[in-house]
Amino acid sequence: MPTAPFPAPRSLTTYPGGAPADAPVTTTLDPALPAQGYRLRTGPEGVSVRHRDPAGLRYALRTLDQLRAAPDFPETGYDISDHPDFERRGFMLDISRDRVPTRRTLARWVEILSLARFNQFELYTEHTYAFADHQQVWQDASPLTADDLRWLDARCTAAGIDLVVNQNTFGHMERFLAHPPYAHRAENPDGFERGGAHRPPSTLAPTPDNADFVHSLLTEVTAHVRARRLNIGADEPFELGTGRSRDQARRDGLGTVYFDYVTTVLRPWLDAGYTVQFWADVFARHPELLDQVPPGAIPVIWQYDAPQHAAEVMDADSTEAGAWQRRGTDLNRLRDGFAAHGKLLADARIPYWVAPGAGNWNGILGRLDNAVENMVDAAEAGLAHGASGYLLTSWGDNGMWDPPSVAFGPAVFGGAASWCLDTNRDLDLGAVLDDHVLLDAAGLAGSVLERLGGVYRLFGIPLLNGSPVARALFPDPSLPLPDLPTPAALDTAAGALARSRLDLSDTELAAADGDLVVRELMHAIDLAEFAVDVLRARAAVGAGADAIPADTARRLLLRLPPLLAEQRACWLLRSRPGGLDDSLTRIDPLRHQLLRAAHR
């Protein structure tokens, strides 16, 4: 069978008679082709490439490299025409939820993103850049430095990828606001209530002084990258209109207060010729703002649960749905997917992006089928309603305990789906991971990642933004499990984990990080099995972990130290030490529950 290049091209025809491996390559600039497009032909007469621009030439030559690597290249001729669905295809990696990657890990991500034809890489930062005047904020975080950014920018540029600064400027500023010198910048310096729990301050007050403050942060970071693009975040300002801006919000409206501040942050960058993204979660709920978007500003619609999964939650249990509604989540919009807000922005003729999620966070093993459906929904809606960009996001909620390799599959699929959805929606993801990412001669690792990514569904408890594994390991009183798994469901999940462990032991990964992938996935399986046993013990008594029998609690507690030691070891092989201790404390609530049970 002829070789199938990755991503699957828009048009591919094969015929007898290929080109010699050392056949000359003729390249021709063709302005008639779509942007980033190419036409590649191989045959006895040689290899010809027509391309629209440098990006098209790059993608054509990478496709040619894949074809040449196959043994059938001299016998098979190829005629391939290709160009992307979305002009901008980005990948965003959260480096602010404790896990800051090493340079080696960042280089590995550039390699994977290049394979999947992303042309934008964003590192989401809050406090994890070494700002010159804010050492108190980042001193324990092992942050990226100016040298790190210049190094990464060079690697990205060589791979045809723009490194784009993604620095939050409104919500999610708790790492700054936790320190006394910054507390005066908070909307609510004493914190706020959300989901029935008191939380520390996280939102900047929408003042001119704070706009100047975040402008200084952006100025410092952007100085070290070449791209004239920027993401200012501005998502989830939970406290807005409840503290210092309360009177203004009552007078002018919450949407106006929000967008006046965002526009103040945007304006100097737009005036300097930047294209500036901002998250659209607040903006899209205020249609009165649609005619106020300045040219060059790009709202980014995000949604991380696929419509089918959201519908399952809404139809299955009112407890889970109610918990999210108390947090301000619009569940009907989740059921509608990306189309609703996409159509709204398209009808207003506002350029916008779609941003699905990799589904790696809040799960240890990921939620792969949810991520795939979410990515397909984003691409379908984006194509139907004229989105100009596609940003796949990999967040790090609850200290990013999930290993980086859990996000490799979603990254590969997301790149392919945003390149050409029609030819890649049924991608054999396991085979692509084995052949192009993990280089597994045994052909097992990709299918293991697929199987592990589906374990969360085996518990039979539909959840939003997470899996029963994470809910068991990181209990949150404001977001409890709506039910406990049945013994049969727990047995099924345990069986899938055991089969995955056996298959991993038989893999033959040739990738440079192959041994590490096996090790971190084995550890992720250990964590998931521990979660299964915690849930099994809870199900036996029908209550929380602090109610399980004392002898069972003691046995579980004995398993925790080696699990934490291996989590530390795997972390340090991929990530910097800063943030590790903070991440490990995420399991303290479970440990305290088990200690109470053990000493009852």
Q: Is residue 440 part of a domain?
A: no
| Per-residue burial over 495-519, b = 16 or more CB atoms within 10 Å of its CB, e = otherwise | ebbeebeeebeebebebebbebbbb
- Residue 264 to residue 213: CA distance in whole angstroms: 12
pLDDT at 366 (0 to 100)? 97
181 and 64, same structural domain?
Answer: no
184 and 262, same structural domain?
Answer: yes
Per-residue pLDDT averaged across 175-182, rounded?
Answer: 98
109 and 78, same structural domain?
Answer: no
Amino acid in the structure at residue 14: T
Q: Is residue 343 part of a domain?
A: yes
Which of 58, 82, 106 delimits the end of a domain?
82
Q: Is residue 376 part of a domain?
A: yes
In sequence order, the β-bridge partners of residue 51 are 29, 38
347 and 272, same structural domain?
Answer: yes
Which of 82, 117, 144 delimits the end of a domain?
82
Per-residue pLDDT at 20 exceeds 70: yes
509 and 588, same structural domain?
Answer: yes
More confident residue, 317 or 36: 36
In sequence order, the β-bridge partners of residue 393 are 92, 357
CATH of the domain at 176: 3.20.20.80
More confident residue, 283 or 430: 430
Q: Is residue 4 part of a domain?
A: no
Q: Is residue 435 part of a domain?
A: no
Per-residue pLDDT at 546 exceeds 60: yes
Per-residue pLDDT averaged across 99-124, rounded?
Answer: 98
pLDDT at 322 (0 to 100)? 87
pLDDT bin (cut points 50, 70, 90) of residue 487 is very high
289 and 349, same structural domain?
Answer: yes
531 and 552, same structural domain?
Answer: yes
pLDDT bin (cut points 50, 70, 90) of residue 2 is low
Q: Is residue 329 part of a domain?
A: no
Half-sphere exposure of 294 (CA within 13 A, CB side): 18
Per-residue pLDDT at 327 exceeds 90: no
120 within 8 A of 90, measured Cβ to Cβ: yes
Task: Name the residue range of residue 586's domain.
Answer: 445-598
The pLDDT mean for the chain works out to 96
Q: Are strands 76-82 and 120-125 parallel, antiparallel or unpaired?
A: unpaired
393 within 8 A of 357, measured Cβ to Cβ: yes
pLDDT at 559 (0 to 100)? 98
Per-residue pLDDT at 4 exceeds 90: no
46 and 163, same structural domain?
Answer: no
Q: Is residue 215 part of a domain?
A: yes
97 and 76, same structural domain?
Answer: no
294 and 146, same structural domain?
Answer: yes
pLDDT at 194 (0 to 100)? 85
Number of domains in the chain: 3
Which of 60, 82, 104 delimits the end of a domain?
82
Q: What φ, ψ does residue 145 adopt, rounded to 5°? A: -110, 175
pLDDT at 329 (0 to 100)? 86
pLDDT at 296 (0 to 100)? 97
Q: Locate 351 and state its tokens.
A: 């350029």
Could you tell me what percent of the chain has a pLDDT over 70? 99
Could you tell me what percent of the chain has a pLDDT over 90? 91
| Per-residue burial over 413-433, b = 16 or more CB atoms within 10 Å of its CB, e = otherwise | bbbbbbbbbebbbebebbebb
pLDDT at 119 (0 to 100)? 98
104 and 57, same structural domain?
Answer: no
Per-residue pLDDT averaged across 47-69, rounded?
Answer: 97
CATH of the domain at 27: 3.30.379.10
Where are the alpha helices (H) located in 120-188, listed in sequence order? 135-138, 146-158, 174-177
Q: Is residue 311 part of a domain?
A: no
Per-residue pLDDT averaged across 489-513, rounded?
Answer: 98
383 and 268, same structural domain?
Answer: yes
pLDDT bin (cut points 50, 70, 90) of residue 3 is low
- Residue 550 to residue 561: CA distance in whole angstroms: 18
Per-residue pLDDT at 515 exceeds 90: yes
